[in-house]
């Protein structure tokens, strides 16, 4: 499995700890930056990760900014992306089971490292439940089509 990961300066430190965490689970990591704590703009990294996912170069993505809010909003602008901002393992599990989130968004200034790792593990270990949830995802895709995103 390949995961693309990207962060702004507010998420840089958490990204650096999540990379070996993912590799420890035999996951190949594509690091889309940023590569230091120098101030940058989160939409750049949201779009980079989102494109790796929708173009099939990564199976899924993780985006991190200070709160996770801005970078999740930006990632969700790319058609086909379902980025879920989570703050607990329970939310991360449901983000996969119900929303089939293909991008997980985290707040580097919000979550302790252990909680962030537990969120990532919960998201990776969960499976999409389909059925009524698939109907709802189809309606999300229809919103993209209706607004000429695709
Ligand atoms: C950057 O200071 C901060 O605004 C950003 O990391 C994020 O929290 C935005 O939503």
Per residue, the 3-state secondary structure of 36-54, as one string, reads: CCCCCCHHHHHHHHHHHHH
Digit-coded pLDDT (tens) for 119-141: 999 999 999 999 999 999 999 99
34 lines ligand 1 (CB under 6 A): no
CATH code, 55: 3.40.1400.10
Per-residue confidence (pLDDT) for residue 149, from 0 to 100: 62
69 lines ligand 1 (CB under 6 A): yes
Q: Does residue 34 have a cis bond before it (omega within 30 degrees)?
A: yes
Distance CA 111, CA 7 (A): 14
Digit-coded pLDDT (tens) for 22-58: 999 999 999 999 999 999 999 999 999 999 999 999 9
Measured CA distances, 16 to 35, 91, 139 (Å): 9, 23, 36
CA 121 centroid distance within chain = 13
Provide the Cα torsion 7, 126, 133, 106; round to 10°.
-20
Q: Which domain holds residue 137?
A: 2-146
Q: What residue owns the CA closest to ligand 1's atom 8?
A: 66
Digit-coded pLDDT (tens) for 89-109: 999 999 999 999 999 999 999
Per-residue confidence (pLDDT) for residue 69, from 0 to 100: 99
Per-residue confidence (pLDDT) for residue 104, from 0 to 100: 99
Task: Answer yes or no: is pLDDT of 110 > 70.
Answer: yes
Q: What H or E segment, with its residue span, contains residue 92?
A: helix 89-97
Q: What's the domain count of the chain?
A: 1
Per-residue confidence (pLDDT) for residue 74, from 0 to 100: 98
Per-residue confidence (pLDDT) for residue 148, from 0 to 100: 77
Per the annotation, the verdict on 149 as an active-site residue is no
Catalytic residue among 65, 147, 148, 149: 65
Distance CA 104, CA 54 (A): 14
Per the annotation, the verdict on 119 as an active-site residue is no
Per-residue confidence (pLDDT) for residue 46, from 0 to 100: 99
Distance CA 134, CA 118 (A): 26
Task: Answer yes or no: is pLDDT of 88 > 90.
Answer: yes
Q: What H or E segment, with its residue span, contains residue 60?
A: strand 60-65
């Amino acid at each position: 499995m390949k995961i693309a990961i990207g962060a702004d300066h507010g998420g840089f430190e958490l990204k650096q700890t999540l990379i070996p965490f993912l590799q420890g689970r035999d996951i190949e990591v594509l690091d889309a930056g940023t590569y230091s704590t120098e101030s940058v703009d989160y939409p750049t990294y949201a779009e980079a990760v989102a494109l790796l996912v929708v173009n099939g170069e990564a199976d899924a993505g993780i985006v991190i900014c200070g709160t996770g809010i801005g970078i999740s909003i930006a990632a969700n602008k790319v058609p086909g992306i379902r980025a879920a901002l989570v703050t607990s393992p329970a939310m991360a599990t449901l983000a996969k089971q119900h929303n089939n989130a293909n991008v997980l968004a985290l707040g580097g200034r919000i979550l302790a490292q252990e909680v962030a790792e537990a969120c990532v593990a919960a998201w990776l270990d969960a499976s999409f439940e389909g059925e009524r949830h698939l109907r709802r995802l189809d309606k999300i895709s229809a919103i993209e089509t209706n607004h000429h995103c695709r």
